[in-house]
Protein backbone atom coordinates (compact mmCIF):
# COMPACT_ATOMS: atom_id res chain seq x y z
CA UNK A 1 0.00 0.00 0.00
CA UNK A 2 2.76 2.44 -1.01
CA UNK A 3 0.75 5.41 -2.38
CA UNK A 4 3.27 8.14 -3.32
CA UNK A 5 6.95 7.21 -2.99
CA UNK A 6 9.75 9.79 -3.05
CA UNK A 7 13.46 9.15 -3.35
CA UNK A 8 15.83 10.03 -1.84
CA UNK A 9 14.57 10.96 1.64
CA UNK A 10 17.60 13.13 2.40
CA UNK A 11 20.27 14.75 0.26
CA UNK A 12 23.07 17.26 0.77
CA UNK A 13 24.40 19.10 -2.27
CA UNK A 14 27.02 21.73 -2.93
CA UNK A 15 26.09 24.93 -4.69
CA UNK A 16 26.10 24.39 -8.46
CA UNK A 17 25.55 20.65 -8.35
CA UNK A 18 22.60 19.07 -10.14
CA UNK A 19 20.07 16.67 -8.68
CA UNK A 20 16.91 14.83 -9.71
CA UNK A 21 14.22 14.06 -7.18
CA UNK A 22 12.13 11.04 -8.05
CA UNK A 23 8.43 10.48 -7.40
CA UNK A 24 6.22 7.51 -8.23
CA UNK A 25 2.58 6.77 -7.43
CA UNK A 26 0.76 3.46 -7.63
CA UNK A 27 -2.83 4.75 -7.42
CA UNK A 28 -3.30 5.18 -11.20
CA UNK A 29 -3.77 8.91 -10.66
CA UNK A 30 -3.79 11.26 -13.62
CA UNK A 31 -2.31 14.36 -11.97
CA UNK A 32 0.96 14.83 -10.16
CA UNK A 33 2.50 17.80 -8.34
CA UNK A 34 5.73 19.06 -6.80
CA UNK A 35 5.71 21.39 -3.77
CA UNK A 36 8.34 22.86 -1.51
CA UNK A 37 7.90 23.69 2.15
CA UNK A 38 10.07 26.21 3.92
CA UNK A 39 10.11 26.93 7.68
CA UNK A 40 7.07 28.89 8.86
CA UNK A 41 5.42 28.68 5.46
CA UNK A 42 2.85 26.53 3.80
CA UNK A 43 3.57 24.30 0.85
CA UNK A 44 4.14 26.16 -2.41
CA UNK A 45 3.50 24.62 -5.82
CA UNK A 46 6.56 24.35 -8.07
CA UNK A 47 5.20 22.45 -11.09
CA UNK A 48 2.32 20.15 -11.83
CA UNK A 49 1.26 17.69 -14.49
CA UNK A 50 -2.49 17.47 -15.06
CA UNK A 51 -2.08 14.37 -17.18
CA UNK A 52 0.61 12.26 -18.81
CA UNK A 53 2.46 14.33 -21.40
CA UNK A 54 1.61 17.75 -19.94
CA UNK A 55 3.39 19.95 -17.41
CA UNK A 56 2.68 23.46 -16.15
CA UNK A 57 4.35 25.98 -13.91
CA UNK A 58 3.13 26.62 -10.42
CA UNK A 59 3.85 29.47 -8.04
CA UNK A 60 7.65 29.06 -7.71
CA UNK A 61 9.06 27.31 -10.85
CA UNK A 62 12.33 29.23 -11.26
CA UNK A 63 15.42 27.04 -10.98
CA UNK A 64 13.52 23.78 -11.54
CA UNK A 65 12.57 21.51 -14.40
CA UNK A 66 10.18 18.55 -14.41
CA UNK A 67 9.56 15.45 -16.46
CA UNK A 68 6.38 13.37 -16.51
CA UNK A 69 8.11 10.14 -17.49
CA UNK A 70 4.89 8.10 -17.64
CA UNK A 71 1.60 8.00 -15.76
CA UNK A 72 3.30 6.75 -12.57
CA UNK A 73 6.43 8.90 -12.41
CA UNK A 74 7.09 12.63 -12.13
CA UNK A 75 10.63 13.87 -11.51
CA UNK A 76 11.94 17.26 -10.37
CA UNK A 77 15.38 18.42 -11.48
CA UNK A 78 17.62 21.12 -10.05
CA UNK A 79 20.15 21.93 -12.78
CA UNK A 80 22.41 24.17 -10.68
CA UNK A 81 21.48 24.03 -7.02
CA UNK A 82 21.46 27.23 -4.95
CA UNK A 83 21.27 27.64 -1.15
CA UNK A 84 17.81 29.23 -1.59
CA UNK A 85 16.58 25.84 -2.78
CA UNK A 86 17.26 24.27 0.60
CA UNK A 87 13.82 22.99 1.53
CA UNK A 88 11.61 19.96 2.02
CA UNK A 89 10.14 18.82 -1.28
CA UNK A 90 6.83 17.00 -1.47
CA UNK A 91 5.33 15.14 -4.39
CA UNK A 92 1.57 14.60 -4.61
CA UNK A 93 -0.94 12.98 -6.92
CA UNK A 94 -4.68 13.19 -7.49
CA UNK A 95 -7.15 11.19 -9.48
CA UNK A 96 -8.68 13.70 -11.84
CA UNK A 97 -7.72 17.33 -12.46
CA UNK A 98 -11.20 18.32 -13.62
CA UNK A 99 -13.11 16.98 -10.65
CA UNK A 100 -12.42 18.16 -7.12
CA UNK A 101 -10.28 15.41 -5.70
CA UNK A 102 -7.84 15.63 -2.80
CA UNK A 103 -4.14 15.37 -3.44
CA UNK A 104 -2.21 12.57 -1.74
CA UNK A 105 1.32 13.30 -0.62
CA UNK A 106 4.58 11.43 -0.28
CA UNK A 107 6.75 11.74 2.83
CA UNK A 108 9.09 14.30 1.33
CA UNK A 109 12.72 14.77 0.38
CA UNK A 110 14.77 16.94 2.72
CA UNK A 111 17.33 18.77 0.59
CA UNK A 112 20.21 20.88 1.95
CA UNK A 113 22.41 22.94 -0.33
CA UNK A 114 25.68 24.22 1.07
Partner 1 sequence: DQQVKQNSPSLSVQEGRISILNCDYTNSMFDYFLWYKKYPAEGPTFLISISSIKDKNEDGRFTVFLNKSAKHLSLHIVPSQPGDSAVYFCAASAEYGNKLVFGAGTILRVKS
Binding-site member from 43, 66, 78, 111 for partner 1 (CB under 8 A): 43
As a whole number of angstroms, the longest Cα–Cα distance in the chain is 41
- Write each residue from 60 to 89 as x if it is in contact with partner 1 (CB under 8 A), else as -, in one continuous string: ------------------------------
Binder of partner 1 out of 17, 19, 27, 44 (CB under 8 A): 44
Continuous segment of H or E residues that includes residue 69: none
Nearer to partner 1, 17 or 37 (CB): 37
CA angle 4, 70, 47 (to 5 degrees): 65
If one asks whether residue 31 binds partner 1 (CB under 8 A), the answer comes out as yes
Q: Is 27 in the site for partner 1 (CB under 8 A)?
A: no
Among 48, 64, 74, 85, binds partner 1 (CB under 8 A): 48
Per 3-state DSSP, the chain is made up of helix, strand and coil in percentages (nearest 5) of 5, 50, 50
**Contacts for 96-100 with beta carbons within 8 Å, 24 or more apart?**
96/30, 96/31, 97/30, 97/31, 97/50, 97/51
Contacting positions for partner 1 (CB under 8 A): 4, 31, 33, 35, 40-45, 48, 50, 58-59, 90, 92, 94, 97-108
Amino acid sequence: NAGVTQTPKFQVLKTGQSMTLQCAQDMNHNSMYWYRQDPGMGLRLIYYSASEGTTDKGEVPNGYNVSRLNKREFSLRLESAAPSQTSVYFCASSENPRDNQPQHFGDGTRLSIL
